[in-house]
Amino acid sequence: MSRARMKLPAIVLTILGAGLGLLAWSQTWFELVLASGAGAHVTAEVIAVPGSVASPAIAALSLAGLALAAALALAGPGIRVVLGLLEVVLGGCLVLAASLSLGDPVGAVSPSVTEATGVAGREPTAELVGTAVATAWPIVAIVAGVLVVAAGLVVLVTGTRWPASTRRYRSGLERADGDGAAPGGSVDAPERAASDRAIDDWDELSRGDDPTDDTNHPEPNR
């Protein structure tokens, strides 16, 4: 596939990565079981910790990816390079956010511990964490970030050769403006003059004058 034809695949890959990030964010990332300690009343039930708690930044980063995909569809060659760089950084942030949560499950589930027990603070909540088992969704979020990074690299390599999406539309508008009106957007001058003459002829008839007889025309400014 030529570089000029990589526009659609790059945009689709961006949307896929961002959408996958949003999906992962809405799912359960950790299954938490509390342990007794620190004098807090705890339950033995498994607490599902969603991505919105474990890594809240994933949502904002994914939405930014979707917005970036829309911008890529309309941007010119120079702006595409800037957007490609931003997309690589954005995908890297997605990978980093998911990896930090996966690497520190106790810190990731801390807000859920506070909600369940009322105990706040990193060390007190860490004492109440019995087990925090990760699901597959943090890995999915990391994959989403990798896809966004890959899409950004595609934009950097091929973006300057993508076809312009609005060139035909703009040229059509320019032709329509040129055919439909005189310079400055005014109505055609001969048509307007003919309309004025018809009004003058009607005024002369209402006064009893014959507009076809030059001798009966009133003097100017009379």
54 part of a folded domain: yes
Q: Are residues 216 and 132 in the same domain?
A: no
Is pLDDT at 67 greater than 70 in this prediction?
A: yes
Domain containing residue 219: 188-222
Report whether pLDDT(123) > 90. no
Shared domain for 40 and 110, answered yes or no, is yes
The model scores a pTM over 0.75: no
Q: Find the farthest-apart pair of alpha carbons in the chain and give their distance in angstroms, rounded.
A: 116
Asked whether the predicted pLDDT for residue 105 surpasses 50, the reply is yes
149 pLDDT higher than 70: yes
DSSP secondary structure letters along 7-24: HHHHHHHHHHHHHHHHHH
pLDDT of residue 54: 93
Across 63-89, average pLDDT: 93
Q: What percent of the chain has pLDDT over 90?
A: 45
| Residue 198, pLDDT score | 58
DSSP string, 45-81: S-EEEEHHHH-THHHHHHHHHHHHHHHHHH--HHHHH
Cα separation of 167 and 150, whole Å?
28
* Residue 177 forms part of a structural domain: no
Per-residue pLDDT, averaged over 104-121, amounts to 86
